[in-house]
Amino acid sequence: MIVTPFLVIGMLVVFILLFLFLNTVDKRKWLTGLISLVLTPFGYFYLLYPFVNIVSNYHHQKYFNSEAWIAKPALRYEMIDSTIETDTLIGKSKTEIETLLGKAEWLSWSEALKAHDSNKWNYGLGIEPGAFNDEKSSVEIMFEANKVVSLKPYTQPITFDDAE
């Protein structure tokens, strides 16, 4: 376990809250202090820490891996930040992208062409975990002269089909 400022502050808050609560039950300071000291790790790791993980949308960042991209499309959001920052795909041809990422899931619509643009490929990145997340992530890969020039991540609201 890595001791971080958040861990120390969180455990101090839990200790103080437990101490104050137990002080209302029993006025013996040494007993409430001892019980608070024993219960603080349990209160932190079983109550506060899970709640913070549910409310926050933190997720692990991973380096790009072609096999994982194809095998687990719902977890692509973990790789996209690293892929964009390191320019992993910039300069690759369409055939290289198709080999690395698989066939484009959909093409962007071009108002100028009034058709799908074959130079703008889209891939779904999945849904980032979090209790209040109501959007799914995607990335648009833009080509010029058969080479990748940019990657643009974007989000869309999650919609469900009616069961009618």
Q: What pLDDT shows up at residue 42?
A: 82
CA gap 19, 13 in Å, rounded: 10
Residue range 47-91, pLDDT digits in tens: 877 887 777 766 678 899 999 999 999 989 999 999 999 999 999
Report the predicted TM-score, pTM, of the whole model to 2 decimal places: 0.68
pLDDT 10s digits, 9-42: 877 887 888 888 888 888 888 887 788 778 878 8
Note the pLDDT tens digit of each residue in 110-132: 888 889 999 999 999 998 887 77
Phi, psi of 60 (to 5 degrees): -70, 145
* Domains defined for the chain, CATH in brackets: 5-55 (no CATH), 66-157 (3.30.1450)
Cα–chain center distance at 162 = 27
Which amino acid appears at position 148 of this protein? Answer: V
